Amino acid sequence: MSNTTIVVMGDHAEFAPPPRERPSLRVGHVSLVGITLFTFAFLYVPIIVLIIFSFNSARTGAVWQGFTLSWYQRLLNNEALLSAAGRSLIIGLLSTAGSVIIGTMTALAMEREHFRGKTIWDGLLYMPVIIPEIVSGVSLLLFFAAGGIERGLFTLVVSHIAFSMPFVYLTVRARLADFDRSIEEAAQDLGADEARTFWLITLPLLMPGIVSGALLAFTLSIDDFIISFFVTGKGWNTLPIYIWSQLKQGVTPEINAISAILLLFSVSIIVMSLLLQRRQH
Amino acid sequence: MANDFAVELRDVVKLYGEVAAVDHVTMSIRQNEFFSLLGPSGCGKTTSLRMIAGFERPTSGIVAIDNKIMGATPPFRRDVNTVFQSYALFPHLTVEQNVAFGLQMKGVSKTEIKRRTQEALELVRLPQLAARYPKQMSGGQQQRVALARALVNRPRVLLLDEPLGALDLKLRKEMQIELKTLQSQVGITFIYVTHDQEEALTMSDRIAVMSHGKALQVGTPLEIYERPNCRFVADFIGETNFLDGTVTEVRGDFAYLTLPSGEVFSGRASEGVRAGTQATLSVRPEKMQLLENASTATANTYQVHVFSIAYVGSDTRVIINLGSQRIDVWEQNSSSTLNPDDYFFKSGESAWLTFKPENALVLAS
């Protein structure tokens, strides 16, 4: 048995000698690694520099003078910054709640109801994802001005819902696409009415999709500058708007420190969202 | 309604657009009966089951459970439970929570739920897996959880939609016996949807054979196999030979059929068979014999040509030609000879075919 195998392998080797390595392949490999490294450097070096300089004791940007945490300490004593952060948090939580409710309900309706022009409605729901933010900002501003609506918390929350809701819609819709309807039928068969079926079965099963959509929506809201800039009102500067206003005095290490914190915050939320989506499968 | 039926369908129609998935079906399922809906896919068996469960509403006709007309009664107010083809277990709940779900919905007390859940899991022999999630179990185990989850509610009727469809053959056979035993143990009416005729014959008290939305025949396995009422049922259940011809005479219970090639065969006349009409004689392969010599004076006896022989252990399957007609005959291997020459019939030679008129059926075309 083993003899036969050896003979077969020997034959094979005789007829098909291993191809010699072509020199161009080596060059290709080296340049591929180079380009990859360059891409990552391009993406992340500026951010790493920003984080490093947030620990720099020098007042002005470009020279390293030693390690300090004093910029972070100063942030904690900066009333204006803390209240801007607080406002961002309130807007983020309210708009996320709104996006989750509307987005989930829309996803359920679009997945399960049959009506005319469904594809078009579906497309319209994706649109806010690709509409340039500056266009959204200007149009929302015009809309609120025309409607005589005073700019402030309300306009900010409504606008944030408008741009973050599609992301909740998309993640919940994806979750619904492989939802086995017979599970809901089983619940009804076992005596659960429509409401109990929804709360005990449908909602828990959609939860990973809803939560990851919510985390996305929250991150988008906290980070948003352009649209918020247009629709904000007196006393409702968000954190990104506050950072932008501070830039008039040049990039200070303090700004570096806030940016670093904001970055850490966003990255951890996105990682959580990705982990949740992975756990679905 | 004084009849004591567990479930009744009366002239039930279900239309999807123009297509009738269920087409004027009437059947009565008795208390504590193991009743199968049998037919090929798309015959309307699952739709019928879903109308009993309440997931679909009939376009017209009446569905009654326990002598109560269901009408628009939603599934959660019907005293029936379903075992789904995909099992449809709740993936975010443990086995125990899955089984307890129905009792919780009914508002049964906590201690009672605990006790009955345990009982149901013991019934399907899975009490040790109560804390598992459905994902962590094999198909056969999930199937039993689905069964326990339905049975724990002690429904009047248990509906089973091809519950063994996803299992491999060996497990299927085991579960068939287990289900049948369980049914007689719990004394609940089972309505069982399957496309597997052997499964239906093995398990059922009665079977409804369905095709294209119609219930063609309802009867015991014996009736369905031995007295099919039409060509489709004869063909779908087991194996059979069809000989087409013209009815020349009907005498008492028997009809005489003349083939285009001139041979005359007789068999039990079924409903609608009249002299002068076209009809089909149906005779099963195991109900015929091959003989070395025979007299042409005997009924249904003709000299035939042996085309091929296949030994399959329990019997020998012989294909013979009668004129241009191909006929399958199964000869039981009642002796245990090792010598092929002991069989008198040989491929390429002639033999005599015979069968009794009472073992054949003449079906109206």
Residue A18's pLDDT is 60
Tens-place pLDDT, residues B304-321: 999 999 989 889 999 999
- Note down the domain range covering B134: 5-228
**With an 8 Å Cβ cutoff, are A188 and B101 in contact?**
no
Tens-place pLDDT, residues B59-116: 999 999 999 999 889 999 999 999 999 999 999 999 999 999 999 999 999 999 999 9
**With an 8 Å Cβ cutoff, are B149 and A191 in contact?**
no
Say which residue, B277 or A9, is predicted with more confidence: B277
Measure B191 CA to nearest chain A CA, in Å.
15
Same domain for B109 and B249, yes or no, is no
Measure A203 CA to nearest chain B CA, in Å.
11
Query: How would residue A266 be classed by pLDDT, with cut points 50, 70 and 90?
Result: confident
Say which residue, B334 or B134, is predicted with more confidence: B134
Same domain for B342 and B272, yes or no, is yes
Q: Which of A186, A196, A201 sits opposite B84 (nearest CB)?
A: A186
Helix ranges restricted to H, A131-201: 133-146, 153-177, 181-189, 194-197
Question: Which chain A residues are Cβ-neighbours of B92 within 8 angstroms?
Answer: 204-205
Q: Which of A9-13, A31-35, A192-196, B154-158 has the lowest mean pLDDT?
A: A9-13
Residue A21's pLDDT is 59
Q: How far apart are CA A99 and CA B224, in angstroms?
A: 60
A88, A241 Cβ separation under 8 angstroms: no
Question: Which chain A residues are Cβ-neighbours of B105 within 8 angstroms?
Answer: 190-192, 196
Tens-place pLDDT, residues A153-178: 999 999 999 999 999 999 999 999 88
In the CATH hierarchy, which fold is given to the domain comprising A70-279? MetI-like fold (1.10.3720)
Instruction: For chain B, give the mean pLDDT.
Output: 92
Q: Tell me which residues of chain A have a C-beta less than 8 Å from any C-beta of chain B.
A: 180, 182-183, 185-193, 196, 201, 204-205
Residue B157 reports pLDDT greater than 50 = yes
In a mutational test of the B interface, the residue from A183, A190, A194, A199 whose CB has the highest number of chain B CBs within 10 Å is A190
Query: Could you tell me which residues come within 8 angstroms of residue B156 by beta carbon, excluding any fewer than 6 positions away?
Result: B6, B65, B66, B79, B80, B188, B189
What CATH number does the domain containing B278 carry?
A: 2.40.50.140
Domains identified in chain B, total number: 2
**Closest A-chain CA to B82:** A189
Residue A5's pLDDT is 39
Q: Which of A186, A191, A193 sits opposite B88 (nearest CB)?
A: A186
Same domain for B86 and B35, yes or no, is yes
Residue B11 reports pLDDT greater than 60 = yes
Residue A1 reports pLDDT greater than 50 = no
Of A60-64, B292-296, B347-351, the range with the highest mean pLDDT is B347-351
Kindly state the helix (H) or strand (E) to which residue B287 belongs, with its residue range.
none
Burial of residue A146 (CB within 10 Å: 0-12, 13-18, 19+) is exposed
Q: How far apart are CA B46 and CA B193, in angstroms?
A: 7
In a mutational test of the A interface, the residue from B49, B92, B135, B159 whose CB has the highest number of chain A CBs within 10 Å is B92
Same domain for B178 and B251, yes or no, is no
Measure B77 CA to nearest chain A CA, in Å.
6
A191, B153 Cβ separation under 8 angstroms: yes
Over residues B154-159, mean pLDDT: 93
Tens-place pLDDT, residues A246-255: 888 777 788 8
Over residues B238-261, mean pLDDT: 93
Question: Which chain A residues are Cβ-neighbours of B85 within 8 angstroms?
Answer: 182
Tens-place pLDDT, residues B160-200: 999 988 788 888 888 888 889 889 888 899 999 999 999 99
The reported pTM is 0.80
What CATH number does the domain containing B41 carry?
A: 3.40.50.300
Residue A6 reports pLDDT greater than 60 = no
The Cα-based distances of A175 to A164, A209, A219, A250, A278 in angstroms read 18, 6, 20, 46, 12
Question: Which chain B residues are Cβ-neighbours of A185 within 8 angstroms?
Answer: 53, 55, 75, 82, 84, 88
Residue A119's pLDDT is 87
Same domain for B68 and B190, yes or no, is yes
Q: Is residue B233 part of a domain?
A: no
Residue A10's pLDDT is 42
Burial of residue B280 (CB within 10 Å: 0-12, 13-18, 19+) is buried
**With an 8 Å Cβ cutoff, are B91 and A186 in contact?**
no
DSSP 8-state code for residue B85? T
Tallying the residues shown for chain A, one arrives at 281
Residue B280 reports pLDDT greater than 50 = yes
B178, B198 Cβ separation under 8 angstroms: no
Q: Say how many CB pairs under 8 Å bridge A and B.
A: 60
Reduced to 3 DSSP states, what percent helix, strand and coil does chain B have, rounded to the nearest 5?
A: 30, 35, 35
